[in-house]
Amino acid sequence: MIAGKKDLILRELEDGTGAAIAVAVDRSGLRSGLRIWFGDLDEKHGPVSELRPHGLKGHRVTLIFGNFSGAVIGQIRKASPEDVQLARALVASIRQDIEIEIPGESLSQWSVTTGAFQMRATIRELAQPLEDAEIIGTCRDVIVPMMAAMAELIGYDVIEEAVDDESPAFEGATLKSVVQRRERNPRNRLLCIRIHGEKCVVCGLEPRFEYGEAGSIIEVHHLEPLSLLIEPRPYDPRTDLVPLCPNCHRAAHTRHPIPFSIEELKDLRGSCRD
Ligand SMILES: [Zn+2]
Ligand SMILES: [Zn+2]
């Protein structure tokens, strides 16, 4: 069944986590399920998400750590407060009707400190729990954000593109690199899309609607670098990031060092028309 949709699941997982993912159909139980893990860590050395049918109408996703995850747990313990905050926000972005349990931890303040860490999600009242569409839905709704949270904690590197730096170095050069790193982090992008959708907040373009399967081009913009420059405050991916289409995003960053604001861009757009 699900085998035919494996590529789709893989692509969404890899886009969302920024890591190489392995998927296997698991037939060891009474009813077949899915197992998903980070390709470079294999199943024993890192987190594994298992999806199984639950009751007659549900799914259960369980995230556990393999028996030899000591090194990865050590790495997770060194995650920065910002990484931890983003990981928690990713899990918090899971739909409210899906029940999340983290044994021995609070849902808002959880952290991974030992290999005994577990996270369980229960999805109830599915119409066709064994259909591909429902399984893909659970991957998208639950496994992608959960695995993205783990990827953020583990610290999968964000691939840095060559920076086109025409502008001379300015005081906020460090800030600029912080902002670029956040804008290019696939987990920040995933969270921004899960919260705000994929519609450009300046022009309303929805690339996925416009270009179909070639439409995964929405970009993430970091708001308010000016205030960050003047008085640093804790960064919140939920409120500090907005989706912009590639055109509007490019336009925003034509002004240095402080990009045009969303309101300024909206005004500029209207101003050049007859
Ligand atoms: Zn736009
Ligand atoms: Zn930007």
Using one digit for the tens of pLDDT, what is the confidence trace for 43-82? 999 999 999 999 999 999 999 999 999 999 999 999 999 9
Q: Which one-letter amino acid corresponds to residue 264?
A: E
Å from CA of 246 to ligand 1 middle:
7
Q: For residue range 183-196, list pLDDT tens digits in order.
A: 999 999 999 999 99
List the pLDDT tens digit at each of the 274 positions of the chain: 566 678 888 988 999 999 999 998 877 655 678 899 999 998 999 999 999 999 999 999 999 999 999 999 999 999 999 999 999 999 999 999 999 999 999 999 999 999 999 999 999 999 988 888 888 899 999 999 999 999 999 999 765 555 555 554 555 667 777 888 889 999 999 999 999 999 999 999 999 999 998 888 999 999 976 666 666 677 888 889 999 999 999 999 999 878 999 999 999 998 876 5
Q: Which one-letter amino acid corresponds to residue 202?
A: V
Å from CA of 222 to ligand 2 middle:
5
CA angle 203/90/108 to nearest 5° reads 130
What value does the CA radius of gyration of the chain take, rounded to a whole number of Å?
A: 20
Å from CA of 61 to ligand 2 middle:
35
Q: Note the pLDDT of residue 29.
A: 58
The 3-class secondary structure across 185-244, one letter per residue, is CHHHHHHHHHHHCCCCCCCCCCHHHHHHHHCCCCEEEECCHHHHHHCCCCCCHHHHEEEE
Ligand index nearest the alpha carbon of residue 221? 2
Q: Note the pLDDT of residue 229.
A: 61
**Across-strand partners of 79?**
none
Q: Which one-letter amino acid corresponds to residue 32?
A: S
| Contact predicate 90/190, CB 8 Å | yes
Ligand index nearest the alpha carbon of residue 259? 2
List the one residue out of 256, 187, 266 whose CA is nearest residue 225.
Answer: 256
Here the tokens at position 82 are: 């910002």
Residue 59 neighbours by CB under 8 Å, 6+ apart:
51, 52, 53, 122, 123, 126, 129, 134, 135, 138, 142
Å from CA of 176 to ligand 2 middle:
10
| Contact predicate 134/127, CB 8 Å | yes
Burial (CB count <10 Å: 0-12, 13-18, 19+), residue 76: buried
Å from CA of 176 to ligand 1 middle:
22
Count of Cβ atoms closer than 10 Å to residue 89 Cβ: 20
**Gap between the Cα atoms of 198 and 56, Å rounded:** 34
Å from CA of 202 to ligand 1 middle:
5
Residue 265 neighbours by CB under 8 Å, 6+ apart:
202, 248, 251, 252
List the one residue out of 168, 175, 70, 152 whose CA is nearest residue 117.
Answer: 70
Ligand index nearest the alpha carbon of residue 245? 1
| Contact predicate 203/245, CB 8 Å | yes
